[in-house]
Structure 1
């Protein structure tokens, strides 16, 4: 099976990190779409960040643009992370007015997803967590998280809400931090349309083996709804080109995605602050496609190696893949 590939449109435009307002000029959403299609002919989907790329006022325009380009809306990513009023939480804020406002915003984004014929709402609840000890009610925070996610999922049963986890940043501790606690958060809602997004870089920073995280989601009941790909050195969410740090990790990951029958999007999520964005993201796509081909060509051999549990034979196999 060949996967469908997508990109996050905003990755072509946001060039602002913690130290510089931008290393390049930020193009408009239409310009980013044109660049993406020119540099990445293999993509068939686009993820749109709510408010940045899409809002209630431009849904028809964006839907037509994607239709004209021949690509689908792979997911809607609500912007629950950049508005300053969400600095101390969205649906877990201690302020009931903020909890209501953020839930209403998520409802708006869900209606937009329906209008865009998109069935994935990717929830990266980045501000829902805490920074200081003895300053957060962990139990109450997770209860609000459950209640409001549940409300959303029950109101929009035809949509799938994918919880994207990350251990830290912008908060020091995130409620959706790793695969296991995110599975618990999804299960607590009692809604089968709440599942998980794995961002490979987030998993690396969390100290996970990302392939094992795939298996956990499978064992929990096919809860892996969506995938974001990027790379990093393991200490921070560097959002680098896939394959520039890890190799065997991605072979392992692509094998287990195939083994567990994952059939969702393979989406790139990286911020090339200094590099040409379209070309950097295109490189990630080429790497993942290469890993996919390697796994397809050697699937039975990899399966056999895993069963043998012989690290030396596995090492020889990996050397063979790189021509050594």
Structure 2
């Protein structure tokens, strides 16, 4: 294990759906205290502006916690003004505010010693045919991200793609399209946050997407969780897709990934902090499983190319 563990601070606070509330609301200081108490925690991912404040006042609490910041997560979706889009809003004023959110977050990331912000543009897309001007949306998105990326070259701007939610179709739904988008913007500090759960609901192979993003030089950040490919349930890693999770870790080793891995894991049962602690322990155990299988067994299986042999040998490697 060469990567560093980070906790999305939102996973330690309020969690509810349209039927029930499962976790209590906690302020930033309370969530940071829980994060500090969890073994194997190397850092956290706070949200701008909800955690850090629009004026950056939350940075004082962050610094006092003594925890490193893996990235600042920029929320450009939940406020009412973003209902019709953020960087693809037809309102030029909203697009300007979106860029300001990203550039302010970049400045705060630098102040907190983080080299990156991450953005999940969930509100940018469409629900129905003929609802959106796809040509104009694409141009607006390129302009917004280009302007934000140019704000400061020392901070990475990482895009967390997702196929759907809140819109039925999101403008950046997959690794391939997001990498193409980064090339169209053309900024060296623009890249991708590969969320394993988002790759799964997009019908992707997370290990392959890591390999492709790394080849493009744009793999900036990784989020881990799991789901059944039907919806983004933010379950514990490998709780559904054991082999795909092991393959993802294998390719992280292959490319020598030594950056941050953040965990977007929520629980409806028990305590959120306990779920994160269990996640960290599980990830260490998964790394140990890879060691037990051994790189030679994996290499031979890939070289053979026959699934019945590959899976047989992988299973034998676990015995």
Aligned 8 A contact 2:226 2:233 in 1: yes
**2:24 aligned partner:** 25
Could you tell me how far apart the structure 1 residues matched to 2:142 and 2:235 are?
A: 32
The two structures have a TM-score, normalised by structure 2, of 0.95
State the superposition RMSD in angstroms: 1.5
Match of 1:46 among 34, 41, 44: 44
Spell out the pairing of 1:222-237 with structure 2 (5 A cutoff): 222-237=217-232
> Residue 150 of structure 2 aligns to a residue in which SS?
helix
Q: Does 1:254 align with 2:249?
A: yes
Q: Superposition pairs for residues 76-225 of structure 1, below 5 Å? A: 76-220=72-216, 222-225=217-220
Pairs aligned (count): 317
Q: Please name the residue that 1:37 is paired with.
A: 36
Alignment of 1:249-288 (within 5 A): 249-288=244-283
Residue in 1 that maps onto 2:289: 294
Contact 1:254–1:292 (Cα < 8 Å) also in 2: yes
Is 1:59–1:116's contact at 8 Å kept on the other side of the alignment? no
Tell me the SS of whatever aligns to 2:22: coil
- Please list the CA deviations of residues 254-285 of structure 1 after superposition, one character each: whole Å capped at 9, or x if unmatched: 11111122221111012223431011122222
TM-score (norm 1): 0.93
Say if 1:224 and 1:262, in contact at 8 Å, map to a contact too.
Answer: no
Deviation for aligned residue 1:296: 3.9
In 2, Cα distance between equivalents of 1:301 and 1:62: 48
Shift of 1:29: 1.4
Partner of 1:196, secondary structure, is strand
Of stretches 237-246 and 310-319 in structure 1, the one that deviates more from structure 2 is 310-319
Quote the Cα distance in structure 2 between the aligned partners of 1:302 and 1:15. 39
Unaligned runs of 5+ in 2: none
Any idea what SS the aligned residue of 2:45 has? strand
Quick one: distance in 2 between partners of 1:229 and 1:14? 20
- For structure 1, the residue ranges without an aligned partner over 5 or more in a row are none
